[in-house]
Chain A
Amino acid sequence: MFELLGIPPQALFGQVLLGLINGSFYAILSLGLAVIFGLLNIINFAHGAQYMMGAFVAWMCLNYLGINYWAALLLAPLIVGVLGVLIERFLIARLANLDHLYGLLLTFGLALIIQGLFRNNYGSSGLPYQIPDALKGGQNLGFMFLPNYRGWVVGASLVVCLVTWFMIEKTRLGAYLRAATENPTLTQAFGINVPLLVTLTYGFGVALAAFAGVLAAPIYSVNPNMGADLIIVVFAVVVIGGMGSIMGAIVTGFGLGLVEGLTKVFYPEASATVIFIIMVLVLLVKPAGLFGRAA
């Protein structure tokens, strides 16, 4: 058995993979936050709660309705996304002309409500969710053992991120979105229904979070608190990357997940804080964020 820097390769690559998985969730969640922030100018504090809801909807589909993982992967983002649309229409839209801090406070309140309700019904101990049959087992790659499901999570996240990037940067709908981000009044004057676009954008961002939640369900147990701590790390990721660029959010998300995984190998004590420490360094050197435009 050869060793790399004194670490057995099994452990090293195992943690790198775990880091990439966390990185996938950071990337999808920070992508959603960035898209929502671009158009609505609010930070969606309920993003973590909506990620948790995605996992729970998948769990409920399986245990109450017998709907399998693959259907839930489509259904959960749809359901949570529709809930997001309703939240935007009836609550967030009322804050349109106010200081954007009120949006943060509103969504924080929503996160408390959602998390509290789920904790009341399901406790905080977490519920198991089986890996779907098709993705059980793993591949022996010679230098490491790759569980199929973990490989699938990283692959699926990457595809979703790239499709989102393509939609926003290369399609007509994305062009409307970017125009509305730049100047909503002028975009509306060109005959584009900006309020509808805003609502759908929020729904889409929320659906992304729910999608990440379904992906996470078989890896971590389904737990009412799973989103609360994650969202704070994602905030740090967003500060590091800056919210100006879609690709920036994706690269920062995966990159930081990787860094976190490597920290777990070489200096486990710092693994919970390493992203915050990187945030401090970035603030000192490049306050606008790695991919951010100076305000």
Chain B
Amino acid sequence: MADVLSVEAPAGAIALAETSRSTERLHRAIFIGLAAVLLVAPYLAYPVFVMKVMCFALFALAFNLLLGYGGLLSFGHAAYFGMSSYVCAYVAKNWGLTPELAILSGVLVSAVLGLAFGALAIRRQGIYFAMITLALAQMVFFFSLQAPKFTGGEDGIQAVPRGKLFGLIDLTGDRALYYVVAVIFMAGLLLIYRIIHSPFGQVCKAIRDNEPRAISLGYRANQYKLAVFVLSASLAGLAGATKAIVFQLASLTDVHWSMSGEVVLMTLVGGLGTVFGPIVGALVIVSMQNYLASLGAWVTVVQGVIFVVCVLLFREGIVGVIAKKIGRPL
């Protein structure tokens, strides 16, 4: 009997390794497929639309890193997205910085903001965490409203120059800008994928699933939570800054609480806690907004209905359901 057991155990381990290796292969195939789609997409669809999807997908990916893998529901992610968008637009327009430096400034500011807000919010848990992040984000909204010298108030910062990448490559044309945005998006996606599968990401998941146990194992849960919060805020900032360059506009819409709600919705529709779900969710929601734009306030109603339906009947999201069908994490 003992022999049989000792033979079986390694066999099981090999099978497990085999599964995880095939999952890895599947993910690699998805990455290559995604890159291929992005390469040809501007020839098949309107490039600005695809860029919009990529910006929001990156935003949703950043949000999902926090909620799906850190277990922290931030209801104020618009603060990092919007503030970074303002900073990027401001330095590109008023200081004449090149786009890559403007985006970097936006990311830096959102990282600092994320550090400050994250340190406050992790002092409370669960439902309070969501309320605190929402209230802090509302503070950023009021600041943006009351500092028209910096944000342009109700008008926002308009006519932001797209500029020349590294001072060399002209980004005024949609095609050139498209490939820059695609590179930023893929880099963000790969970074998030790497974070999730790193030892750091594993500890975050452990804290998400059972915080007291992770603490008793010697992990400083609060430091991990803060780190993942700052990472998420910075990546949301990256998305916001890129959006400011693409649309040449930073406005109050980007810092409003409804933007925080939208990113939650994208993640929920695509699949919470899945790697690729937020991308699908962003594609669905942005397309929906595009097609229903003529309906005005009905868009809000439709979004609300999707929220309710997803929470009641479709909690796994699109990618979550597919992952369950094929029995592999996606």
**A residues bordering B, Cβ < 8 Å?**
37, 42-43, 91, 94-95, 98, 100-102, 104-106, 108-117, 119-120, 228-229, 232-233, 235-236, 238-239, 269, 272-273, 276-277, 279-280, 283-284, 287-288, 295
Q: How far is the CA of A280 from the CA of B116 in the complex (A)?
A: 10
For residue A125, give the distance in angstroms from its CB to the closest CB of chain B.
13
Contact with A along B114-133 (1 / 0, CB 8 A): 00000010011111101110
A272 pairs with B142, CB closer than 8 A: yes
Residues of chain B lying within 8 A (CB to CB) of residue A110: 304, 307-308
Residues of chain A lying within 8 A (CB to CB) of residue B311: 95, 102, 105-106, 109
**15 cross-chain CB contacts under 8 A:** A37-B127, A105-B310, A108-B307, A109-B306, A110-B308, A113-B300, A114-B304, A116-B300, A117-B301, A120-B298, A232-B138, A235-B134, A238-B131, A272-B146, A295-B124
Q: How far is the CA of A110 from the CA of B310 in the complex (A)?
A: 12
Residues of chain A lying within 8 A (CB to CB) of residue B136: 276, 280
Q: How far is the CA of A101 from the CA of B311 in the complex (A)?
A: 10
A273 pairs with B139, CB closer than 8 A: yes
Which A-chain residue is minimally distant from B260 (CB atoms)? A108
Residues of chain A lying within 8 A (CB to CB) of residue B146: 269, 272
Q: Name the interface residues of B79-135: CB closer than 8 Å to any CB of A.
A: 120, 123-128, 130-132, 134-135
B297 pairs with A120, CB closer than 8 A: yes
Which A-chain residue is minimally distant from B295 (CB atoms)? A120
Q: How far is the CA of A232 from the CA of B76 in the complex (A)?
A: 11
User: A94-B312, A102-B311 given as contacts; is B304 within 8 A of A111 (CB)?
Assistant: yes
For the A-B complex with A91-B312, A105-B307, A283-B120 known, give 6 more contacts whose Cβ atoms are closer than 8 Å: A110-B308, A232-B135, A239-B135, A273-B143, A283-B132, A295-B124
A112 pairs with B297, CB closer than 8 A: no
B312 pairs with A106, CB closer than 8 A: yes
Residues of chain B lying within 8 A (CB to CB) of residue A272: 142, 145-146
A239 pairs with B126, CB closer than 8 A: no
In the complex, how many residue pairs between chain A and chain B have their CB atoms under 8 Å apart? Answer: 122
Q: How far is the CA of A177 from the CA of B139 in the complex (A)?
A: 35
For residue A276, give the distance in angstroms from its CB to the closest CB of chain B.
4
B241 contacts A by Cβ under 8 Å: no
B135 pairs with A279, CB closer than 8 A: yes
Residues of chain B lying within 8 A (CB to CB) of residue A100: 126-127
Residues of chain A lying within 8 A (CB to CB) of residue B127: 37, 42-43, 100-101, 104
Residues of chain B lying within 8 A (CB to CB) of residue A228: 257
Partner of A109, one of B131, B257, B308: B308
Which A-chain residue is minimally distant from B264 (CB atoms)? A105
B297 pairs with A236, CB closer than 8 A: no
A interface, over-half SS:
helix
User: A43-B131, A116-B298, A232-B257 given as contacts; is B308 within 8 A of A91 (CB)?
Assistant: yes
For residue B311, give the distance in angstroms from its CB to the closest CB of chain A.
4
Interface size class, chain B: 35 or more
B27 contacts A by Cβ under 8 Å: no
For residue A119, give the distance in angstroms from its CB to the closest CB of chain B.
4
For residue A161, give the distance in angstroms from its CB to the closest CB of chain B.
21
Residues of chain B lying within 8 A (CB to CB) of residue A117: 301
Which B-chain residue is minimally distant from A115 (CB atoms)? B300
Which B-chain residue is minimally distant from A286 (CB atoms)? B123
Q: How far is the CA of A269 from the CA of B138 in the complex (A)?
A: 15
Q: How far is the CA of A95 from the CA of B307 in the complex (A)?
A: 14
A239 pairs with B132, CB closer than 8 A: yes
For residue A235, give the distance in angstroms from its CB to the closest CB of chain B.
4
Q: How far is the CA of A27 from the CA of B132 in the complex (A)?
A: 18
A102 pairs with B315, CB closer than 8 A: yes
Partner of B307, one of A98, A106, A287, A295: A106
For residue B247, give the distance in angstroms from its CB to the closest CB of chain A.
24
Residues of chain A lying within 8 A (CB to CB) of residue B248: none
For residue A256, give the distance in angstroms from its CB to the closest CB of chain B.
12
B189 contacts A by Cβ under 8 Å: no
Q: How far is the CA of A265 from the CA of B46 in the complex (A)?
A: 52
B73 contacts A by Cβ under 8 Å: yes
For residue A31, give the distance in angstroms from its CB to the closest CB of chain B.
16
Contact with A along B280-323 (1 / 0, CB 8 A): 00000000000000001111110111111011100100000000
User: A101-B126, A104-B73, A239-B131 given as contacts; is B120 within 8 A of A113 (CB)?
Assistant: no
A273 pairs with B142, CB closer than 8 A: yes
Partner of A112, one of B124, B135, B139, B300: B300
